[in-house]
Structure 1
Amino acid sequence: MLTEFLRDQFFTTAWFGLMAFVWFGWSQEDPPRRWRVWLGVGSAVGVAFAGAFGILTALHWGQPTSLQGKYVWFGVLVAAEVVAAGVGCLVLARRGRSRWMAWWVAVVVAAHFLPLALFLRDFGVAAVGVAQLAALGWAVPRLRAVTTTSSRLAGPIMGVSLLLSAAVGAALALPNL
């Protein structure tokens, strides 16, 4: 979002749009009735960002990227994230706490934005992760007070934060076309 690399800016905006779609989708597992339309709208807007900025990424693929020479370590980071999310969900399932899976995955995703910001040389990504972690911490007592799935709050927290980040990324990237 705050990178000097236009290709990375386009890709991050597209990726955040796609992930907003995913999180809004997961939040539709058990939403309050009044949220349903808004979750669908969020999903649609996320897909629009993903499509438009995915095309811009492809059109600017030859431009420099902050990941040049770091692809292996970037892969290690992503693999560690996937393993942490998967192992945590397995532990939650075995302990009969599967309703917390969405929250756990959200925490892992948000935390991975911190080292990701170093790879991308984009501290806006770290700011998103910190904001998400704070919001997910805020959600814990609310989730403990109910028996619904954690996707009810974790999904919108992640979806809204990623969609807003995609919008900021778009606003910063488009003047550079």
Structure 2
Amino acid sequence: MEYIRDYAMYVSVFGMFSFVWFGWAQERPRPSWRIYIGIASGIALLLCLTGVYLSITNWDAPSALNEVSAYRNYLISFYAECIVAGAGAFVLTRWKRKEYIAPWVAFIVGLHFIGLKSVFDDPSLWILAALMVAVSIAAVVVSPKLQVANSAITGIGAGTVLFGFAMLGLKRFMAAMM
């Protein structure tokens, strides 16, 4: 079944979080990168707002979350992600390792997409999970070599991946509407 509303929400949610990650990328990137990160943020915000409009205008369309167990599993995954990411950020702060918070959060966000594959019956979320986890690991390796904050690489990588999935959601939405 085509879940038109879910595709519209992919555009909105992935667009919003792309915007957020590009914002986090502003923490100590190379100065020459700032304009591009800012432009990417603006485009991601516009994509998010497009998704909001599509979601509102298709609110009564089918959604995987209409099934009670799917919605419950979604909430469990979401809250677990928030608790684990927050607890890890707290521990990293206490250990004076705040520079690892962005990669940690991206890692946990990536893992939570594994569980969402079943909720939305969407195998592409496994790819999203793998890419987010890869970004989190790559950031810790690449950032010191480029002499930028871990959050700069994490934010650029996660923002780009989520932007790509927002665009995929838009493509799927448009294909389902035809």
TM-score by length of 1: 0.92
Q: How many residues end up aligned between the 2 structures?
A: 175
Residue aligned with 2:133, SS: helix
Instruction: Give the C-alpha shift of residue 176 in structure 1.
Output: 2.8
Q: Which residue does the alignment assign to 1:84?
A: 84
Between the aligned partners of 1:28 and 1:143, the Cα distance in structure 2 is 13
SS at match of 2:29: coil
What is the correspondence of 1:146-161 to structure 2 with a 5 Å cutoff? 148-161=148-161
**For residue 38 of structure 1, what is the aligned residue in structure 2?**
36
> Is the CA contact 1:100–1:149 (under 8 Å) kept in the aligned structure 2?
no
- Output the CA distance in 2 between the equivalents of 1:139 and 1:22: 17
Match of 1:28 in 2: 26
**After superposition, what is the alpha-carbon deviation per residue over 1:58-104, rounded to whole angstroms, capped at 9, x for unaligned?**
11111111122122221111110000011000110111101111111
- TM-score (normalised: structure 2): 0.91
For structure 2, the 5+ residue unaligned runs are none
Letter of the structure 1 residue corresponding to residue 46 of structure 2 = A
Structure 1 CA distance, aligned partners of 2:168 and 2:45?
16
- Please give the alpha-carbon distance, in whole angstroms, between the structure 1 residues aligned to 2:82 and 2:31: 31
Distance 1:141 1:53 in 2: 34
More helix by share: 2
Q: Which amino acid aligns with 1:17?
A: G
Aligned residue for 1:75?
75
- Give unpaired runs (5+ residues) of structure 1: none
Deviation, structure 1 residue 146: 7.0
Contact 1:99 1:148 in 2 (8 A): no
**Root-mean-square deviation (Å):** 1.6
Q: Distance in 1 between matches of 2:138 and 2:119?
A: 28
